[in-house]
Amino acid sequence: MVDERTLTAPGRFESLAQISDFITQVARDAGFDEDGVFHVQMAVDEACSNVIEHAYGQVSGDIVLTCGVDEAGDLRIDIRDSGTRFDPDSVPLPQVEVGKVDLDDLNIGGLGLFFIRKLMDEVTFRFDAESGNHLTMVKRRPH
Amino acid sequence: MTGKLAQEMLTGDVVRVAPQGRLDTFTVPEFEQILTEHLDAGRARLVVDLADVTYVSSSGLRALLSARRRARAAGGDVALCNMAPRVREIFEMVGFVSLFGIFASVQEAADAFSLDVSART
């Protein structure tokens, strides 16, 4: 990857603003417009919030973000943590189709995951017993 | 968010709550606590002024939805106003614009509560 940059931050909610500043700069430097920058920032914020809330709910550790632009000019973001295994399939998808939202019936769980998948072009979760959770997200360069 | 959340009583028992900056998973608990305190005290007509809010995460949406449920159960509501286009986009992505009353100004949001009362009497 070109211009690879890494941020290691404590897996605590206090880190979210610092992570946001970091990824905002990365996306701007990668040439995304302000819409794209905002979408990348939001996806990363939701992903890191999930890590802190779920993976580091019982144990503590760092979040490691590694970002860079690949050969195709797309922005790749890797987020790693050493917390509890996260299974994205265990999270129910919220009922958020426009015009079909029922306030009393809304399944609000999984909203963060919904945003991540909506805002990024590729989203892959992996778990490895040695290195922990590993989320890879790709935002394609607008053509 | 500590120290960066304005509140004021408006006419007609309407409370304006104005968070600032990012409503992310770190800052939302304090915001949610303020909403809960008003609801616990029987103040169920809440106007959330988003003029100085730059970002709302899913945890912020959950807090607003939860407060709205409680407010409506108590005969009130949670109205939103002064939403920046970027913040509105977040609400649109999940269909929340159809859930909340969204107004252009604090005055319009507060007036909606008065109109609501007039309509009921």
Is the pLDDT reported for residue B85 higher than 50? yes
Domain with A111, as residue range(s), is 2-139
- What does the mean pLDDT of chain B come to? 91
Nearest CA in chain B to A119: B93
Is the pLDDT reported for residue B1 higher than 60? no
Q: How far is CA B71 from the centre of its chain?
A: 10
Return the minimum-mean-pLDDT range out of A3-7, A45-49, A84-88: A84-88
How many separate domains does chain A show?
1
Percentage of chain A lying above the pLDDT 90 cut: 71
pLDDT confidence of residue B90:
96
Give the C-alpha separation, B24 to A46, whole Å: 9
pLDDT confidence of residue A107:
56
Residue range B59-84: mean pLDDT, rounded = 95
Confidence band for B115, pLDDT divided at 50, 70 and 90: confident
Residue range B17-41: mean pLDDT, rounded = 96
**Which residue is it, tokens 């000019």?**
A73
Confidence band for A67, pLDDT divided at 50, 70 and 90: very high
Residue range B39-58: mean pLDDT, rounded = 97
Residues B73 and B105: beta-carbon distance below 8 Å: no
Contacts of A46 in chain B (CB under 8 A): 57-58
Nearest CA in chain B to A118: B93
Give the C-alpha separation, A92 to A73, whole Å: 33
| CATH number, domain containing residue A113 | 3.30.565.10
Contacts of B86 in chain A (CB under 8 A): 38
Q: Does A127 touch chain B (CB under 8 A)?
A: no
Interface test with chain A among B94, B97, B98, by most A beta carbons within 10 Å = B94
More confidently predicted of A46 and A59: A46
Q: Which of A16, A97, A108 sits opposite B95 (nearest CB)?
A: A97
Q: Which of B59, B68, B94 sits opposite A49 (nearest CB)?
A: B59
Interface test with chain B among A14, A42, A63, A102, by most B beta carbons within 10 Å = A42
Q: Which of B24, B90, B98 sits opposite A16 (nearest CB)?
A: B24
pTM for the model: 0.91
pLDDT confidence of residue B12:
81
Q: Which domains, ranges and CATH numbers included, belong to chain B?
A: 5-106 (3.30.750.24)
